[in-house]
Amino acid sequence: MGRKPNPDLDGHISIAPTTVITYGTARRRVIITVDDARGDLLPNTNVNVPLPPRSVSMHFSIPREALHTDGGDFVYRVVNGKLVRTPVQVGVANLIRVEITSGLTEKDTLALRCHQQRELSNGLAVKIVD
C-alpha cells in the first residue's frame, strides 16, 4: 500500500489536557478538530502537528488541588458553611494552577481538603481554617 503525501490541513484544539498524560512516548494528549478534512484521515490516525508557540497568562486561576475531574470538571465552593459541588470550565493549566474560564468568580471560597481524613462531598458542613 502506497503512502499518501503529507497534506497540510488546518485545525484547532478541541480539548486541551488539564494534567500531563503519558500516551506512548508523548507527554500530553490533545484532541484536535481538523477544519478542512477531505476524508483523507481515518479515525485514530497518528499525525504530527506542529503547534505555534503562544504566550498564555492565567488571569483567573485556582490551585490544581481544588479541581476535581470525576464525571466532569468541578470544585467545591463554601456557601453558608457547607460545600457546594460547582461545575467549572477550565482553560490552560500547569503543574500548580488551573485557569477557570467559567463557573466561578474570584470572590468564591474553595475547599482544598479536609483535615480529618474525610472525603469532600456536596453538602458537607465545613469550618474554614487558615
pLDDT tens readout for residues 68-103: 998 899 999 999 999 999 999 998 887 788 889 999
Mind listing the domains of the chain with CATH numbers? 8-54 (no CATH), 56-130 (2.40.420.20)
Please report, rounded to a whole number, the percentage of residues in the chain having pLDDT higher than 70: 65
Q: How far is CA 86 from CA 92, 96, 123, in A?
A: 19, 20, 12
Confidence of residue 1 (pLDDT cuts 50, 70, 90): very low
d(CA 10, CA 79): 45
Please report, rounded to a whole number, the percentage of residues in the chain having pLDDT higher than 90: 32
pLDDT at 2: 47
Instruction: Please name every residue paired with 82 in a beta bridge, in sequence order, or none if there are none.
Output: 79, 125
d(CA 63, CA 75): 11
Please list, residue by residue across 18-38, b when 16 or more beta carbons sit within 10 angstroms of its beta carbon and e when fewer do: beeeeeeeeeeeeeeeeeeee
User: Dihedral of the CA atoms 4, 5, 6, 8 (nearest 10)?
Assistant: -110
Contact status, residue 19 vs residue 37, Cβ threshold 8 Å = no
| Burial (CB count <10 Å: 0-12, 13-18, 19+), residue 17 | middle
HSE-up (13 A, CA, CB side) for residue 69: 7
